[in-house]
Structure 1
Amino acid sequence: MSNLNSNLLQNMSFVRPEYFYISGFSGIPFTKYYFIFLFFTYIIAVFGNSFVIFIILTDRSLHIPKYIGIFWLALADFGETNALIPNLMKTFLFDSQYISYEACLANMFFVFFFSNVQALTLVVLAYDRFIAICLPLRYHAIVNNSIMSVALFISWSFCTALVGTTVALITRLSLCKSNVVKSYFCDHGPIYTIACNDNTINSVMGKLCTVLFLYAPLIAIVVSYLGILLALCRITTWAGRLKALKTCVSHLLVVGVFFLPSISTNIATLFFTIHPNARIINTSLSLAIPPMLNPIIYVLNTKEFKDFILKMLKKRAGSRARVLAK
C-alpha cells in the first residue's frame, strides 16, 4: 500500500513545463554584433551548401563515391544551419526567448542529429580517402556508389536512432526545478539537469553520444590518416606523395574545422573553469562555423567544382554575347 501511495505521489508531482526560457546570450555584452556575424554566417552557409548540392546533382561526372559523401555532408550542414541559427535570430530580432516544450524537443533533436551526422559522414569520407591512397588498384572494387550510399544510410540511421532515443528520454523527466535553459538552444545537458527525478540514464546517454559522435569519429579519422601517411612513405617520389596528399587537403581542413573547436572546449573544461559566457560563445561558434566554411573549402580546393563554375561562367558569357549581337 505504501508503494502504491508513493507511486501516486510521484505521478501527481510530475512537472512538464509548457514553455522553456532560453537564457542564451542574455548575459553577454555586445551580442548585437555577434548576431550580425551569425546572420552573415547563415547566408553564406545556406548559399554555399545549396550551391554544392546543386553542382553535384547537375554534373553527372560527379556522381561518384567521393562526391556522394560530400553531397550528404552538404545536406547535413544545410540542415544544422537551419535548425540552429534561425531560432537564434528570432531571439535577437523579436526578443523572444520562450519556446514550447514540444518545439524545444524538436530543436534539440535536429541540432544534435545534423551535427552528429556531420561527424559520421566525415568518417565515411576518411574511409574513401584511405582506400583510394592505400589500395588504389582495388579502389573501384571496394568503394562504389552503392557501398558509399549504404555506409551513409547506416550512419544516418544509427544517428537517428541514438539521438531520437536520447531526446525521447527527456519526456520521462519531471522538470520542476526551473524552466530556464542555460544555453543558446534546447541543449540536452542544461535540460536534464533541472529534473527533480532520477536523470542518471539521461546523463549516461549524453556521455555516450559525446563518445560515439565526437571522440570515436575523430579517433577513426586519425587512424585512417596514419594509414595514409604510411602509404605515402612507400611512394618513392615527392611528386607522387604530393599528388596523393593533395586529394586529402579539403577533407583534412573540414575535419580540423569541425573537430578542433569542440575537442578543445571539452578538454579545456576538464582542466580549467570556463566562464559560462565564454563556453556559450565557443560552443555556438563550433556549431555555426563548420557549415559555413565546408562548402568554401571544397569549392576552392576541388578542381571539378572550379571547372563547373568556369563552365557556367563561360556559358553565361556566351549567352550574353549572343544577346548583344542580336
Structure 2
Amino acid sequence: MTSLGSSISANTTFIRPASFYINGLYNIPHAKYYYVFLCFVYAVTVLGNSFIMCTIYLVRSLHTGKYIAVFNLAVSDLCGSSALIPKLVDMFLFENQYISYEACLLNMFFVLFFMTLQSLTLLVLAYDRVIAICFPLRYNAIVTKAAMTMMIGVTWICSVAIIALLVALITRLSFCRSTTVDSYFCDHGPIYILACNDKSVSYVMAVLCFAVLACLPMLLIIVSYLCIGIALLKVSQGIERLKAMKTCTSHLILVAIFYLPFFSINMLSLTSSIKANDRMINSALTQTIPPMLNPIIYTLKTEEVMQAIKILYKQAKVAALQGMTQYFKWFDTFCSLLYYDKV
C-alpha cells in the first residue's frame, strides 16, 4: 500500500491502496463450472439484447415511445453484463484477483450505474403501462417519442450523478488495514467497511441510494399496478380486461425477476440467515440472469415484437432471394463469355 503523505487529521495518515484483492467466489467448490455457466449467460445476453436492439432500430412500427424505453433497457442490460461478467471471469477463472484502485472504482461505477439504469427504466415502462390502460384515448398524445426520450435522458443524468457521488465518497476513505474485498466485484458496501477512518457519510449515502434507486422505484411500480387494477375493474367486458392485462405481462415478469431476488438476498443478508458464499452466488445470479431473460421475455410475450421479427424475416428472405438471383445472373453472364471466347 502507498501513502499519499497527506493527513486527515494531526494523528491520522491518509492511505490509498495500490490495489484491492477480490476474494469473492475463489473458495467455492467447483467454481469453474459456475464460470463456464456465466460465459454461457453472457453470450446469450449479448445475442439477445443485440437482437432486440437491432429489431427496434430496423422496424419502423417499433419507433414509438414505449420501445425507446425497451431499447434503453436492452442497452443497460448489455452494458451492465459487460461491466460485470468478463471481469468476474477474468479475476477468478484465471486467478487475476488483484485490481488496481482506479480500475476498481471504475468497475464499481459502471456495475452500479447500469443496475440503477435498469431499475429506473422498469419504472418508466410502468408509467407507460399506466397511461396505456388508465388513459387509452390520450396515450399517443402523452407517451410521445420526445417525452419518452426526455424521461430516459433524466434517468441517465440521475443515475450518473448519484452513482458518481457514491463512488467519489470512496476516495475520502483511508485503507490502513485489509484490502481484501469479500465480494465478486468492486462492490460499494464490502469496500467502504474496510476503511479505518470515518465512513459514516458513505454508509448514509449507501442507505439513501438503496432507498431512492431500488425501494422507491419498486414502491412506485406497485402503486402503478394498483392504479391499473382499479382501472381494469371498471372495464365491463371480460375480453377487453384480459387483453389489457396481457399487455402488462411482459413488464410484470421483468419486474419480478429483477426486484424479487434482489430484495430477497438483501433481506436474508440483514438477518444473517444466509452463508457468505451462498449470498455471493445468489447475488451474482440476481445481477446476471435478468439481463439474459429480458429480451427473451419481450420477444415471446410481446405480439408487436413478434410481428416485427416476422417482418424482418420476410425482408431478409426477399433480400436473400434477390441476392441469389443476381448471383445466378452474374454466373450466367460469366459462362456466356467463356463460351463466346471458345467459339
Fold conserved (TM > 0.5)? yes
- The C-alpha deviation readout for 1:93-131, integer Å capped at 9, x for no partner, is 421001000000000000000001100010011001001
Distance in 2 (alpha carbons) for counterparts of 1:70 and 1:272: 36
Distance in 1 (alpha carbons) for counterparts of 2:91 and 2:101: 16
Cα 1:242–1:173 shift into 2, 3 Å: same
Deviation at 1:197, TM superposition (A): 0.3
CA contact (8 A) 2:32 2:93 kept: no
CA contact (8 A) 2:88 2:184 kept: yes
Distance in 2 (alpha carbons) for counterparts of 1:157 and 1:176: 34
Distance in 2 (alpha carbons) for counterparts of 1:232 and 1:314: 37
Counterpart residue type for residue 281 of structure 1: I
- The C-alpha deviation readout for 1:120-149, integer Å capped at 9, x for no partner, is 010011001001100111212222111111
Distance in 2 (alpha carbons) for counterparts of 1:122 and 1:181: 30
Distance in 2 (alpha carbons) for counterparts of 1:16 and 1:159: 26
Distance in 2 (alpha carbons) for counterparts of 1:197 and 1:177: 11
**What TM-score do you get using the length of structure 1 for normalisation?**
0.94
Paired position in structure 1 for 2:11: 9
Cα 1:209–1:28 shift into 2, 3 Å: same
Paired position in structure 1 for 2:201: 201
Paired position in structure 1 for 2:288: 288
Give the number of aligned pairs.
320
CA-based RMSD: 1.6
- 1:43-54 to structure 2, matched below 5 A, reads 43-54=43-54
Counterpart residue type for residue 78 of structure 1: L
- 1:228-247 to structure 2, matched below 5 A, reads 228-247=228-247
- The C-alpha deviation readout for 1:214-250, integer Å capped at 9, x for no partner, is 1111100000000001111111111000111111111
Counterpart residue type for residue 144 of structure 1: T
- Aligned sequence identity (%): 49
Distance in 1 (alpha carbons) for counterparts of 2:256 and 2:158: 24
- Where structure 1 has 5 or more consecutive residues not aligned to the other structure, the ranges are none
Deviation at 1:255, TM superposition (A): 0.5
Counterpart residue type for residue 121 of structure 1: T
Counterpart residue type for residue 9 of structure 2: N
- The C-alpha deviation readout for 1:256-282, integer Å capped at 9, x for no partner, is 110010011122233342110011011
**What TM-score do you get using the length of structure 2 for normalisation?**
0.90
Moved more, 217-226 or 83-92: 83-92
Highest CA radius of gyration, 1 or 2?
Answer: 2
Distance in 2 (alpha carbons) for counterparts of 1:318 and 1:63: 23
Moved more, 101-110 or 47-56: 47-56
Deviation at 1:6, TM superposition (A): 8.1
Distance in 1 (alpha carbons) for counterparts of 2:10 and 2:272: 44
